[in-house]
A and B are shown apart, each in its own frame.
Chain A
Amino acid sequence: MAGIKHPRPDDETAEPPTPVSPFMAVFETFRSELDEHHDRRERIVKASRDITALSKKTIFSLQRVRQLQAPIPPAVSDEISAYQSKITELFTSVAPDLQDLNAWRYQNQISPGIQEYMEAVSFQHYLETRRLISYEAAQAKIPGGISLTEDDYVLGLFDLVGELMRFAITGMATGGALPRGGGEGGDLLTDLRQLRAGFEGLDGAGKRAQGKMDVMRSCVEKVEGAVYGMIVRGRERPKGWVMDVGEERRGEVESY
């Protein structure tokens, strides 16, 4: 066996060993399959990222709505339908990558986009109807036959609570009262408490949901604190006073 060469193989720089590996053909098949897989994954990650950004913009626009349980005003509506058509395009573009076997394969990649989209969709639904969007209705909002997992649906709803908090506090600051719909029974705080109770009642929700639980609770409590503050001291406030939502204060701003 004099053919064995002594110099060490220099792993990256050296050409493949002189006799072509008998496994080359097999590995070339693997290569093309792995390449397809990586390409798909990249397309999905990119679409997911863009869907997330557009959903956030939609939510910002929706936060300008003041009237609960009424059609979205035209100015806002125009903006969000422009975002929506781009979102639809993005979903449709990756739909072929998310069929059959691959529907769950790239779940981690598409999930962030779907969650953010769920947040936007459920927020709009709430503003229009003062109802929580059902799973079925939410699924129907996703174009291209891409399936909505229960996880993504719930995680989107968790984030909805944060949007409702912002909406409530802005409503109180500008309108002097908690937004309530035209219908029977309760106001936004009633709804938030119901949502909280619903979330807390879920048994066996995953780790990601547990992580959002505390944030969700503190959002509800911020609104509770703000309502309290409004009742106790509200009349002393100058008109046009705007509560600082960004900071962790609970509306305990002294009157001037």
Chain B
Amino acid sequence: MASSDSTPKGMITPAIFEHLQTKLDEDAQVREEIRNIVQAMERQDRTTMSILSRAHSIPQADLAGTLSEASESMNKQVEVIGKLKEVASKHPYYRYNSMWSREMQNASFAVVLWAWLHSHMSDHNGQKGELFTIEEVGKILQVPVSLKTQDVFHMTIEEYLLSLISLIEELARLAVNSVTLGDYHRPLEISRFVKDLHAGFQVLNLKNDSLRRRSDSIKYNVKKIEDVVYDLSLRNLVP
């Protein structure tokens, strides 16, 4: 019973709202700090993507310079992610995850796209390393991946899978542009690769979330690539 409680007026101990204000201030500060880093990630990502998008207008054989330039930009991104990792690790991972999740997807997308292009360079043999696994992406970005219980900074499988959907979208565009570049072989490689990925996505039981919504685009992109292959084979242009 609080009748003998010392605070004379009313129900509220001032400490209650003071505590809340302290927590709100701390939270605002953390968000500010993370927001700044995420903005830096956005900038770096735009740089990387503008380099990688040259692949649409440069023949596969001449991509080496582009890839190494992109690689430098990605290394800078790894440094920024390092900062994010440092700040984010002080807090429960999922508390602020939504602030950077999009940028982690983009960073992963840059890596898997780079890897795909790189694996199709002439000095590379065949299908090896076509798809970077989540572990390989994590190694490049220097973050742990797919943790189940340990509460530290990492890349989630959702982020990785979403980046693969972006990859499919990008490759569909590349299939079209390959033909423009006079490369009739690459659409076939893209077709095979994307079909394999599509088959992978089909085994997932997707619920109503962002992964589900975005994965709807896969089938349209598969079809778009099929159309390119169909057009080529109809005209006997398939090498």
Contact = CB atoms under 8 A, between A and B. Distances in A.
A99 B149 CA distance: 8
Interface in B187-217: 188, 191, 195-197, 199-207, 211
Contacts of B127: 22
A164 B12 CA distance: 14
A9 interface: yes
Contact of A202 (B17, B149, B161): B17
Given A27-B200, A204-B28, A186 B2 contact: no
Given A33-B146, A126-B11, A69 B2 contact: yes
Interface residues on B, range: 35 or more
B182 interface: no
17 contacts: A4-B229, A4-B233, A11-B222, A27-B204, A30-B157, A34-B205, A99-B149, A101-B147, A104-B95, A130-B11, A132-B12, A132-B16, A183-B5, A185-B8, A190-B10, A202-B20, A205-B24
A61 interface: no
A105 interface: yes
B203 A24 contact: yes
Contacts of A135: 16, 19-20
Contacts of B191: 4
A195 B219 CA distance: 55
Interface of B: 1-3, 5, 8-13, 15-17, 19-21, 23-25, 27-28, 92-95, 97, 127, 131, 133-134, 146-151, 157-158, 161, 188, 191, 195-197, 199-207, 211, 219, 222-223, 226, 229-230, 233-234, 238-239
B1 A69 contact: yes
B9 A190 contact: yes
Contact of A31 (B8, B197, B203, B238): B203
Question: Would you list the 3 A-B pairs with minimal beta carbon distance, nearest first?
Answer: A27-B200, A104-B94, A21-B199
B119 to A, nearest CB: 13
Given A104-B94, A205-B24, 10 more contacts: A21-B196, A21-B197, A22-B127, A23-B197, A28-B203, A99-B149, A100-B150, A128-B1, A150-B20, A154-B20
Contacts of A153: 20
Interface of A: 1, 4, 6, 8-9, 11, 16-17, 20-24, 26-28, 30-31, 33-35, 38, 41, 69, 99-105, 107, 126, 128-132, 134-135, 150, 153-154, 181-186, 190-191, 193-195, 198, 201-205
Given A4-B238, A17-B199, A195 B11 contact: yes
A107 B151 CA distance: 15
B28 to A, nearest CB: 5
A151 B25 CA distance: 13
A67 B204 CA distance: 57
Contact of A8 (B11, B148, B226): B226
